[in-house]
Structure 1
Amino acid sequence: MEAPPDNDVLWARSLHYAHSGSPALAGVSVGVREGEILAVTGPRGSGKTTLLQCLSGQLAPQSGEVWFNSAPVHTLGRLGRERLRRDRFGWIDPEPHLVPELTGWENAALPLLLRGTPHRAARTAAKEWLERLDVGDCARKRPAGLLQAQRQRIAIARALAGDPSVLFADEPSAPLHRADRAHVLRTLTTAARSHHITVVLATHDAEVAALADRTVGLVDGRRVSGVPAPDAEGRAAACSLSV
């Protein structure tokens, strides 16, 4: 078993994963340095989400290795991966999955509360992030009474409030309008740099990818040397495989 590089907080080698027999990752290797913002780009269906899920422990790769801080993730059982995600990782989905019975601040504080953080400290951290994301007035409102963009900002606050070592963001600005998207992404990247959070960002948007320190391209579950912009129907032209 090859040891991961010392300066990589995340490192994966030769990841393979198939959904119901359909290959999603085919031998993908990638390293992410501590404090780096890495964009994983490619057209829809290229394997971006599956790669983030394998790196974060949501999925166990069918073959290959994943390491976090030089400790193997791919050998952990389900409970071990759940603890890792709860304690060290944050996750942002393309759509906000909030608990409908909880208020805005309770949703944002949920990872901290599950971790055992005192109630007052969790509430303070959650409200600080809601304010930064311009949804402080939503702290006492439940998701059903909020706009989609407000719910997404609360979901982003939830991911940041837990002070994760690594934040995985899967098309985090997808439900936002252009002006909202610019502000939220600036807040996200500024927070990552000021708090030394490593970010792995999946996107097919060139403007979003431009915020990253480095870009890795995927097409049909394989790393490629370049990913062209999708055409009007969202399809990408053929890309040469990287060597």
Structure 2
Amino acid sequence: MAPPDNDVLWARSLHCALGGTDALGDVSLGVREGEILALTGPRGSGKTTLLRCLSGQLVAQRGEVWFETFPVHALGTADRERLRRDRFGWIDPSPGLVPELTGWENAALPLLLRGASHRAARSAAVEWLERLDIGDCARRRPHALSHAECQRIAVARALITTPSVVFADEPTAALHRADGAQLLRTLTAAARSHGITVLLATHDTEVAALADRTVGLLDGRRTDGPPPASGAEGVAACSLSV
């Protein structure tokens, strides 16, 4: 069964074990289009695992994940990779920039990998860097930039294709509070102006306060209980292979 019409991303009864330990246990979640949703909880609560399952990086042993009308849980590896490339963006706690590339080249990588022309990719990258107030970083390589500037380039890289959903896994964890707050304000403002859905994993309550809604996790389970079934009662959870 596809997700409710107002949910761009929908998961039901996810169970995922990693290394013999239950990382997620019976987690259900619906995310509305254009919503900024914060996943909160201490480190080890299952936030990263849930993001990885929702984005198709990881397939749960049991449960369903839908993006629009696509059953992410049932897609093959190549189709899930294509979905991540074309419709999703991802931000890690560390920037993960390519040291040999300039700021704009790092930001433009998703477009270049999709076959965009050098000129078009550069123009889009510079535009996003300017929106994120780091236009002067376009020609500089990561070693000449601050960590906060590098993380903003990573945000530009995640947004440059105007994805449907951006998954942000503790994006401010390694930043000073002021830098982190500014980065989050910039990310959320850019997402809202372009109608991009954001799933933000954080253990910081001040970061979570920027979201439209908060879902708590603890030991791989929702602390606020599952959402209403939205008409999905009686649908059996799929048994999936990892």
Tell me, yes or no, whether TM beats 0.5: yes
Q: Distance in 2 between matches of 1:162 and 1:90?
A: 8
SS at match of 1:140: coil
Q: Distance in 1 between matches of 2:30 and 2:69?
A: 12
Q: Distance in 2 between matches of 1:70 and 1:5?
A: 10
Q: Which residue of 1 aligns with 2:149?
A: 150
SS at match of 1:74: helix
Q: Which residue of 1 aligns with 2:109?
A: 110
Q: Which residue of 2 aligns with 1:207?
A: 206
Match runs of 1:92-107 below 5 Å: 92-107=91-106
CA shift for structure 1 position 242: 6.2
Q: Distance in 1 between matches of 2:174 and 2:155?
A: 12
Identity value in percent? 76
Residue type at the aligned position of 1:195: H
Q: Distance in 2 between matches of 1:51 and 1:99?
A: 27
Q: Distance in 2 between matches of 1:18 and 1:171?
A: 21
Match runs of 1:158-169 below 5 Å: 158-169=157-168
Q: Which residue of 1 aligns with 2:237?
A: none
Q: Provide structure 2 residue ranges, at least 5 long, that are not aligned to the other structure.
A: 228-242
For 1:16-63, what per-residue CA distance to the aligned partner results, in whole angstroms no more than 9, with x for missing partners?
Answer: 111111111011000000000110000110000000000001111111
- Shifted more, 116-125 versus 106-115: the winner is 116-125
Q: Distance in 1 between matches of 2:17 and 2:166?
A: 24
Q: Distance in 1 between matches of 2:7 and 2:200?
A: 16
Q: Which residue of 2 aligns with 1:189?
A: 188
Q: Does the CA-based 8 Å contact 2:107-2:160 persist in structure 1?
A: yes
- Shifted more, 215-224 versus 112-121: the winner is 112-121
Q: Which residue of 2 aligns with 1:135?
A: 134
- The count of corresponding residues between Structure 1 and Structure 2 is 227
Residue type at the aligned position of 1:182: A
Q: Provide structure 1 residue ranges, at least 5 long, that are not aligned to the other structure.
A: 226-240
Residue type at the aligned position of 1:111: P
Q: Which residue of 2 aligns with 1:70?
A: 69
- Say if 1:158 and 1:242 are closer, same or farther in 2 by CA, change over 3 A: closer
SS at match of 1:4: coil
- Say if 1:36 and 1:124 are closer, same or farther in 2 by CA, change over 3 A: same
Q: Distance in 2 between matches of 1:9 and 1:100?
A: 35
Q: Which residue of 1 aligns with 2:24?
A: 25
Q: Does the CA-based 8 Å contact 1:6-1:70 persist in structure 2?
A: no
- Shifted more, 145-154 versus 10-19: the winner is 145-154
SS at match of 2:10: strand
Residue type at the aligned position of 1:16: H
The structure, 1 or 2, with the larger RCO (C-alpha pairs under 8 Å, 6+ apart) is 2
Q: Distance in 2 between matches of 1:162 and 1:76?
A: 22
Q: Does the CA-based 8 Å contact 2:28-2:226 persist in structure 1?
A: no
- Shifted more, 115-124 versus 84-93: the winner is 115-124
Q: Distance in 1 between matches of 2:203 and 2:193?
A: 25
SS at match of 1:126: helix
Q: Distance in 1 between matches of 2:170 and 2:131?
A: 20
Match runs of 1:20-59 below 5 Å: 20-59=19-58
- Shifted more, 62-71 versus 139-148: the winner is 139-148
Q: Does the CA-based 8 Å contact 2:2-2:68 persist in structure 1?
A: no
- Shifted more, 18-27 versus 142-151: the winner is 142-151
Q: Distance in 2 between matches of 1:197 and 1:3?
A: 20
Q: Does the CA-based 8 Å contact 1:152-1:175 persist in structure 2?
A: no
TM-score (norm 2): 0.90
Q: Once superposed, what is the RMSD of the aligned Cα atoms? A: 1.3
Q: Which residue of 2 aligns with 1:232?
A: none
Q: Does the CA-based 8 Å contact 2:27-2:226 persist in structure 1?
A: no
